[in-house]
Amino acid sequence: MDGCADLEIPGVVFAGLRDAHVHLGLVDAHALFAGGLAVVHDLGSPPSVLEPFADAAVRVGLPEVSFAGQFLTAPGGYPTDRSWAAAGSVCVVDGPQEAASAVDAQIRAGASFVKVMLNSVAGPVFVDATLDALVGAAHAVGLPVVAHAEGQGQAARAFESGVDRLAHTPWTERLPDELLAAMASSMRWISTLDIHGRGSEFDVATDNLRRFRAGGGVVTYGTDQGNGPQPVGLNPRELDALLDAGLDRAAVLESITIPWPSGTSTRLAWTPGTPPADERHWAAWLASTRNLDPGQIKEQFG
Ligand SMILES: [Zn+2]
């Protein structure tokens, strides 16, 4: 671009930032973009909400969206009885014979991955045969599977069935080291530590995440935006929690920045000022990142 070499941008320019767990039926996509997110992954919303995002066109003022489509759950399973689960946002899968059509419905709606619900605290969960059939059907067409694992043994079941990502760091039980080491070789965890506030569940999750990371596990920044009160956009408390769980600053940046320039997006983000030395201030500083419109750089900084 002519004249770019003469521009001085006061601050740090990053690849665009991503939240890998949001619900666009419960939080405004424009507000997420205004809050600094270039890319979001929707992990459960009704088709009516997702339809406008089903093609990959880049839209001014909106994050790029990839989505799971509907929550896939067992009959009577979570979140069928939840008031926040909008009509059409849940797809009940009653046995392995229904797995392929359930996955196919998400693909036809434009899904990039599917989400299976394994919440034994809130209701019935899939039997192994159904879970295996769902994972198999998704993998057969190249789609990763994300699981909500909650309750005794559910994270282990997700791993054993071949689930690729956990929507949340496991928080309902302390997972054994051997299981974490095995998970670290094939799974990616989405952090969502801040949804627990600070207390015993937060502590269990942080301990699991620390040991998963120590075994080489990949952690992706995600907040579950739309679930409970939290800052819309980048959440400094989530960034703080990742630092507390043992990620250094480079690892936190790796967890939140999109691959660039080789990935799907060439979006850029800009954080004003100099990175503070103190970790607490660093998280707040990073959370002040905003999207940088390449077409407006000269106007903004020239
Ligand atoms: Zn969620």
pLDDT tens profile 175-194: 999 999 999 999 999 999 99
- Residue 218, C-beta contacts closer than 8 angstroms, at least 6 positions apart: 184, 187, 188, 189
Cα–Cα distance measured from residue 116 to residue 131, given in angstroms and rounded to the nearest whole number: 8
Strand partners, 165: 146, 188
Q: How far is the CA of 208 from the centre of ligand 1 (A)?
A: 19
Give the whole-number percent of the chain exceeding pLDDT 90.
Answer: 78
- 3-state SS record for 276-293: CCCHHHHHHHHCCCEEEC
Q: How far is the CA of 168 from the centre of ligand 1 (A)?
A: 8
pLDDT tens profile 137-180: 999 999 999 999 999 999 999 999 999 999 999 999 999 999 99
Q: How far is the CA of 226 from the centre of ligand 1 (A)?
A: 8
Q: How many angstroms from the chain centroid is the CA of residue 294? A: 25
CATH no. for residue 252?
A: 3.20.20.140
Longest dimension (CA), the chain: 63
- The answer to the question of residue 186 being in a domain is yes
Q: How far is the CA of 11 from the centre of ligand 1 (A)?
A: 33
- The answer to the question of residue 109 being in a domain is yes
Cα–Cα distance measured from residue 54 to residue 159, given in angstroms and rounded to the nearest whole number: 29
Q: How far is the CA of 9 from the centre of ligand 1 (A)?
A: 36
Q: How far is the CA of 203 from the centre of ligand 1 (A)?
A: 20
- The answer to the question of residue 218 being in a domain is yes
Provide the 10 A C-beta neighbour count for residue 257. Answer: 19
- The answer to the question of residue 273 being in a domain is no
Mean pLDDT across the stretch 23-45? 95
Model confidence at 51: pLDDT above 60: yes
Cα–Cα distance measured from residue 116 to residue 43, given in angstroms and rounded to the nearest whole number: 10
Order of strands, sheet of 268-272, starting from the edge strand that comes earlier in the sequence:
11-15, 268-272, 290-292
Q: Residue 69: which domain range?
A: 17-265
pLDDT band at 207 (very low <50, low <70, confident <90, very high): very high
Q: How far is the CA of 15 from the centre of ligand 1 (A)?
A: 25
Mean pLDDT across the stretch 3-13? 73
Q: How far is the CA of 44 from the centre of ligand 1 (A)?
A: 7
The whole-number pLDDT of residue 227 equals 86
Strand partners, 160: none
Cα–Cα distance measured from residue 30 to residue 34, given in angstroms and rounded to the nearest whole number: 6
The whole-number pLDDT of residue 3 equals 46
> Measuring CA to CA, which residue among 137, 80, 81, 92 is closest to residue 113?
137
The whole-number pLDDT of residue 1 equals 44
Q: How far is the CA of 192 from the centre of ligand 1 (A)?
A: 9
Contact 285, 275 (CB under 8 A): yes
Mean pLDDT across the stretch 224-247? 94
Model confidence at 4: pLDDT above 60: no
pLDDT band at 261 (very low <50, low <70, confident <90, very high): low
Q: How far is the CA of 64 from the centre of ligand 1 (A)?
A: 18
- Average pLDDT value for the chain: 92
- The answer to the question of residue 236 being in a domain is yes
Mean pLDDT across the stretch 102-107? 97
Q: What angle do CA 197, 186, 233 make, to 5 degrees?
A: 35
- Residue identified by tokens 């599917």 is 114
The total number of structural domains in the chain stands at 1
